[in-house]
Amino acid sequence: MRKRPTVLFQVTAIGKNSKALDATARSVLYWLRHTPRLGYRFLLWLVVEPEGYWSAPELYDRLEQAGARVLIVPMEYRTPLATQGKARALQYACEERGRLGLSVPWVWVYHQDEETCVGADTLTGISDFIRDGRSLVGAGIILYPIDWMGTPSHVQELTRSYDDLRVLDSMTKPGNPTAGFHGSHFLVRADVEDSVGWDSEGYAPTEDLMFEIRVRARYGPVFGVLKGFAYEKGAFSLRDQFRQRRRWMHGVLHAVLHAHELPLRRRLTVAYSGLSWFSALPSVVVLVASIELRYGPLLDVTSLFTGFIWVSMVLAYIEGYRLHARYLERPVSWLRFFANGLIGALIDVAAPWGALVRRPSLGDFIPKDRPAGNPARSSRPTVAAQGG
Amino acid sequence: MSQRSEPRPGRDPNARVGDQPPGAPERLRERSAGDWVGAITESEDEYVLREIDRVRDELAPRFTSPPRSRSVDDQHPWGAPSPYLEERLNVARSVAAQLAAEASSDRLAVPGLKSALQTIDQELGRATEELGFARTEVWDEGYPDEVAWRVPGPVSPLPAHPLVTAPSVSGPAPRVAAAGRVGPPTGSFEDYTVARYNRTVAELHSRRRPLAWWTVAAAAVISSALLYLTLRAHEPVPPIWLAALPLVWMIPVPFFIAGFRGTQRILDQNRLELPDP
């Protein structure tokens, strides 16, 4: 006999994207209401900054009326190591759990960004994961169907969903060889999270990577696959996409250079993952240059692998799209899909180099509320998509 | 109509919270076939009205003051055990009462009646499911001895956590969230069902082997074509600094190979489908 678990749905964000956050919270409440046999108690916490709350106080009050609990991180709150950004808010939530007696083995924390909507599958997947009980941390596949418009940044986002399969495999291996983890759509037992914490010196651009490193260093390979999708939205512009990717690379560099808990072997794999990403831009340059320059016999070797890399990249777009096919309102033509994918890929290619010429900044969060210029559209799938 | 007003097969009539009038569940169970034969011979209107009255009686409000608070800190620190159960019953009750009122004032419309009865049936069905599930669950509400069950101990020495000693500034007092109905869904999240998820991942699983073979085959064709073109070009050996440039293409090769193998492995070793709740 085990104690009935509690799942704490925790949305941690600045809180200024209030519409996105509202939809996220309501997706949780809606599906908790409509999924009667989950087998766990639940809590919903919205952990936001004061400026986020004051951007839409009525909205937050309504969500409280609906059953959420709004935690406002005090302006004067400081962690012992003076961490900043999202890690600070996450650490604050850890301390609140400790204060309320929720840092116990039968409480699980499901982490969401402000645009991480859930479905019945997400909640059922959480239930399945807890019942299985073999892992302490679980992450799953994220789709990006919300407000999908087929723009280059949105097409590029599709590849991330297919890449999540690589992420899950890597994460469940002992050494996480290709550095896979998520900052949202992951479930962790509260006592494990709170024992590790989120505090670190200064600003950690990718606090999720640091967290994964710490959990692995302390508890070993305790990661499992969380079934069920989470549903998010991609960046609305190429500029936002660039800034988001640049922040990720800042996080990788931060982990390699400043994560003292990182064993040497893990440090090398994280560094290699970053190097692979860095190599994309020179690869494109060399490819273009090869039209003029003659590389000669060396191509006898490299061409053996070129085909595999090209096919793998194209496959990520196609399979990413197929994963989303039932959820997208707007199918795009193959020509547009190809062109937008190419543009989105070029942004991803250039973004890590942007991290070398600009310092990490707390202002690198990107808007998730639909821009005013874009009329709202239902994301209900078309008949064709439903049948597909 | 008659099917909806009878308890569903397998439903436990006692699942409706215990303060029902004496004999109510028995009345539901003990309706004989003769009753139904008689009902068929009655006029349809009288029959509908009588059934509505019966549903209203069965669902008449019996809670004097339903709990309005969902205080996290006080009443249910780990979350209320079944916070929607009463709401489900209340919805069913209010719809039944509304039906009865409309029926008595001759404003009852058949399409509205059908929808209302579906709501009652749906809410009662969910409430029954929830109760039945809660009763069959093996969770123990007492403090478990084996809380560290299957949990490995730390594999490395525990560093002294800075939070142990450092003071922190506490935040505002947590506010008590009042119980309220969740408004109508404003996004598309209502479409995110288990059935849709299962279809998506089942298709992904079914494509696993073809994906592997097509990837290898396409890669072989492209690489062969590139190799053929390279060999036919008969390029002279370039200066070493120039010849080294294409090595940059080799950097991500292990990453892509690991990704390919990992994708195949994770799909092979994990069935991602979920049971439909």
pLDDT in tens, B38-47: 555 556 667 7
Tell me the two tokens of residue A312.
Answer: 């793998």
A to B CB pairs, distance under 8 Å? 383
User: Residue A276 and residue A47: Cα distance in Å, rounded?
Assistant: 35
Confidence bin at B2 (pLDDT 50/70/90): very low
B169-190: pLDDT as tens digits: 333 333 333 333 433 333 478 8
Return the pLDDT at A363: 64
**Tokens in use for A349?**
């290619």
Smallest CA–CA separation between B48 and chain A, in Å? 29
DSSP 8-state secondary structure symbol assigned to residue A138: E
CB contact under 8 A, A326 and B130: no
| Interchain contact, B246 vs A286, CB within 8 Å | yes
Cross-chain Cβ contact A2/B166 below 8 Å: no
pLDDT of residue B196 exceeding 90, the answer is: yes
Structure confidence at residue A284 (pLDDT): 86
Give pLDDT, residue A353: 94
In this predicted structure, the answer to whether residue B37 has a pLDDT above a threshold of 60 is: no
Residue B133 contacts A, CB cutoff 8 Å:
yes
**Quick check: helix, strand or coil at residue A291?**
coil
Which pLDDT belongs to residue A374?
Answer: 55
Of B169, B186, B235, the CB nearest to A294: B235
DSSP A297: G
Please, which residues have CB within 8 angstroms of residue B206's CB and are 6 or more apart in sequence?
Answer: none
Look at B231 and A70; give whichever has higher pLDDT.
A70
Partners of B156 on chain A (C-beta within 8 Å) are 217-218
Distance CA A211, CA A195 (A): 11
Q: Which of B275, B147, B82, B152 is nearest to A127 (CA)?
A: B275
Region of residue A338 (phi > 0: left; psi between -120 and 50: alpha; otherwise: beta): alpha
Domain that holds residue A18: 1-388
Backbone region of residue A178 per phi and psi (left: phi > 0; alpha: psi in -120 to 50; beta: other values): alpha
Verify whether the Cβ–Cβ distance B138 to A1 is below 8 Å: yes
CA B67/CA B216 separation, integer angstroms = 62
Find chain A residues with C-beta within 8 A of B273's C-beta: 227
Within a 10 A sphere around the Cβ of A371, how many other Cβ atoms?
9
Residues of A in contact with B122 (CB under 8 A): none
pLDDT at A360: 76
Amino acid (1-letter code) at residue B2 = S
- Predicted confidence band of residue B52 (pLDDT cuts 50, 70, 90): confident
Residues 6 or more apart whose CB falls under 8 angstroms from that of B240 comprise: none
**For residue B123, what pLDDT band results from cuts at 50, 70 and 90?**
confident
pLDDT at position A295? 65
**Alpha-carbon dihedral sign for residues B69, B71, B74, B76:** positive
* pLDDT: which is higher, A115 or B242: A115
Taking the Cβ of residue A357 and every Cβ of chain B, the question of whether any pair is shorter than 8 Å is answered with no
The chain A residue lying nearest B222, using CA atoms, is: A307
Lowest mean pLDDT among A284-288, B104-108, B224-228: B104-108
Q: Is A185 left (phi over 0), alpha (psi -120 to 50) or beta?
A: left
Alpha-carbon torsion, ordered A90, A91, A96, A97, to 10 deg: 80
Q: B189 and A309: CB-CB below 8 Å?
A: no
What is the rounded CA–CA span in Å between residue A31 and residue A54? Answer: 27
What pLDDT shows up at residue A62? 93
Inter-chain residue contact B235 with A296, CB threshold 8 Å = yes
Q: Which helix (H) or strand (E) holds A72?
A: strand A69-72
The string of DSSP letters for B99-123 reads HHHHHHTT---HHHHHHHHHHHHHH
Please indicate whether, in this complex, the C-beta atoms of B223 and A199 are within 8 angstroms of each other.
no
* Residue type at position A144: Y
Tell me which residues of chain A have a pLDDT lower than 70.
1-2, 294-298, 300, 362-365, 371-388
**pLDDT tens sequence across A72-90:** 999 999 999 999 889 999 9
> How many domains would you assign to chain A?
1
Distance CA B63, CA B90 (A): 10
pLDDT at B60: 59
Domain with A169 in it: what CATH number?
Answer: 3.90.550.10
3-state helix, strand, coil in chain A (%, to 5): 55, 10, 35
Q: Does residue B199 surpass a pLDDT of 60?
A: yes
Closest Cβ opposite residue B172 in set A23, A74, A81: A74
Q: How far is residue A219's CA from residue B25's CA, in Å, rounded to a whole number?
A: 53
Q: Cα dist. A144→A78, A80, A158, B267 in Å? A: 34, 36, 7, 21
**Three-point CA angle B132, A5, B267, nearest 5°:** 95
Digit-coded pLDDT (tens) for B147-163: 333 344 444 333 333 33
Q: CA-to-CA distance for A220 and B92, rounded, in angstroms? A: 50
Using the predicted structure, report yes or no on whether residue B66 has a pLDDT greater than 50.
no
Q: Is B68 exposed, middle or buried (0-12, 13-18, 19+ CB in 10 A)?
A: exposed
Q: What's the ipTM? A: 0.90
E strand spans, A76-228: 107-112, 137-139, 142-143, 186-189, 223-225
On whether the pTM is more than 0.90, the answer is: no
